[in-house]
Structure 1
Amino acid sequence: MFKLSTLFALVALRVAHAATINVVVGGTGILKFTPPFVNASTGDIVRFTFQQKNHTATQSTLQSPCAPKPGGFDSGFIPVADSVTSNFPVAQLTVTDTNPVWVYCRQANHCQQGMVFAVNPGNDFAAFQAAATGGASATSTTGGVATATATIAVTATSATSSGAPTSTGSVDHKVVVGGTGVLAYNPSNITAQVGDTVTFEFHQVNHTVTQSSFNTPCRALSLTSTTGAVGFDSGFNPVASGATTFPTYTITVNATTPIWAYCRQANHCGQGMVFSINSVETGSNNFAAFQALAKQQNGTSSSTTSNTSGANGRTVTSRGASVAVLVFALFSAMI
């Protein structure tokens, strides 16, 4: 009993001392992160606020400042119109240790103009920025970087400041599904308005996006609903390792109530491959809790039969195209 009480006290102490560090990305006529670097402790959150025009926060390395780090996080491009003055979209990075984290904007030549950022750089930030402005390992703005991890979460807070506006004023939110060595949706948690669309772009290897419920993350809504709701299901979308075009699947948001989804391939859901729209992050049924429940259930109630079929009556097209549940995790480790 003493051991468990001590555990709760330590968790509470850690959460209480976690800090949120604000960083502004871009702005009218501004190609920089403000401040350009910060010092953070384990558990702190770096909150990137995206302002005008269209930038990313993409992890790189000290040696190659302007190239994405394999397996690193990437916010994706977040366009913000010049007319936007509030409700800017944000991306949050949870600091998992005190090692340096190197970041850049992969829009055009922004990195080569010195638009870089670092967490805990020590005495190396000047060298990092100098290597960037020297043109090291530049990347283009075309193509996606499917390297997001569970520590990055993009929240679109305004229909005029995220996604791609349509002719009707609604927004299309792009979500990358999977990728080489990636079992995640990127971003994995978004906010959308009624009338917005969400386009899932499937990358390697073979995944689905299937609607579920909060209480049973790894089971299709059609199997658990007591009201007869069917829910959407993209079907399996196999993508070869060398593919350059990717199939897509689009849904329309018809309400602002939370929408929960998962990948029903093998045990992907049990490994945390889940997604949400409009989760209430200030409540107990937030995205972190949903993902933790999926891992707890370990996908035991999900379908494990893969196939290469289409989208169950829907059209699939190809185009060129957070505080986690620490108490539960630590308590489980003691058993």
Structure 2
Amino acid sequence: MFSFKTSALAALAGISLAAIPPVVRSATIDITVGGPNGTVAYAPEYVNASIGDVVRFTFEQKNHTVTQSSFASPCSPLANGFDSGFVPVADNVTSDFITAELTIENTDPVWVYCRQTGHCEQGMVFAVNPGSDAKFAAFKAAAMGLNSTTTASASVVTVTATVTVSDGDTITTTYGSYPGSSAPTSAISTDHRVIVGDNGTLTYNPANVTAQIGDTITFEFHQKNHTVTQSSFADPCTPLSASSPGTVSFDSGFMPVSTNATTFPTVTIQINDTKPFWAYCRQSTPVSHCESGMVFSVNAVESSNSSFEAFQAKAIALNATSASGSASLSSPSATSSSNGALSIHGICGAGIVIVVVSAIVGAFL
């Protein structure tokens, strides 16, 4: 079981951010992720744990992930494995770090890496119950060996997501976009601002944007608790990472904003090709925001059958087919598993960017 915890938000809301079944915890093992002065490491690099133990990851400075991989492919995400998503932490943050907990439910090896560009190849890997010092050393060596053997494909275009955290610092993360897309331009011509939850409504305003290569889109999150989660035209209310396993996709993570807030968190993405970009809000409490029509697109072809209106209609149509008794958590969550041994709960599933604004009070839903 893998869960996010942030004590500041939990204390303010008076609830836990994850619905976690009770387990017997014999020990809590602390792991530091990143750190000051550009640290690219987990400390310690591996641990031995028993069933019921909890491995607690504390995310310090920079922008890292805790992503499950495999011994055979140390720097590639394991299908159906857990992933914290990116957790940006500004250099001047020295306390109240975000933590994530992994509850050990069997003694099989668990292999982990940071999927920030180049970090795994620099040796930022971790293991639980690797079996021996030599086995972990081989895992790390395999990861670092990729640094000299892997070359960038000419067809892969980078996408830059810039996150402004509550203290005004900006953290940038880069990831691969669609193969074959046009190369990004160096000059940003236009920034398109989109209000998420404008005036308390379940909307993005505007809901459809036409953008050129090099343009940026800044999502400004207003009251309630919303996300911008990349999906697909075929499955408007399903994360793209779930409907197309192995695809790198964008997810802002949940952004709780109190009713009396006057400053609002933002997330900015850069457009590096002109293919349609589909997104939705994955909030499901008290109702599904996506199935209520809270969807968004970039460069939807309005003269085709894949228009924004058609995309929104597909999302709303899901409301009629959803099972009336389907359960939902009171706090944002996503679930993934690996051989039935691990599950992930938290404020971001397999997303690329996650932002937690600690100075938020009030009712988020």
Query: TM-score normalised to the size of structure 1?
Result: 0.48
